[in-house]
Amino acid sequence: MKRMIKYALSAFASILLSLTLAGAVVAQCTLETSDAYTCYVIGEDETYCYYQCYCKTDEDSCRRALEDDGFEILN
């Protein structure tokens, strides 16, 4: 019985540690630049960074570069 309790406590501790570490992940927002755009941080929350971006090239090339680099264009 003691062995069963020991394993249960060990499993619970592992789950608790995993959930704690998962909750500690926070978005790291920084200035983003490339040859096609420059993006300034205008807001952030626990998960996302919000940017105002300015294109250095034509709009289509800039949009493709932003999407290729993982940006989601909201408007």
Tell whether 35 is covered by a domain. yes
Residues paired with residue 46 on neighbouring β-strands, in sequence order: none
20 vs 44: CA distance, rounded Å: 21
Tell whether 73 is covered by a domain. no
Number of domains in the chain: 1
Q: Are 26 and 12 in contact (CB under 8 A)?
A: no
Which two three-digit tokens encode residue 65? 């570069």
For 3-71, strand residue ranges (E) read 32-33, 37-44, 49-55
Tell whether 61 is covered by a domain. yes
For the chain, strand residue ranges (E) read 32-33, 37-44, 49-55
- Average per-residue pLDDT for the chain: 77
Top mean-pLDDT range of 6-10, 22-26, 60-64: 60-64
Tell whether 75 is covered by a domain. no
User: What is the band of 74 on the pLDDT scale with cuts at 50, 70, 90?
Assistant: confident
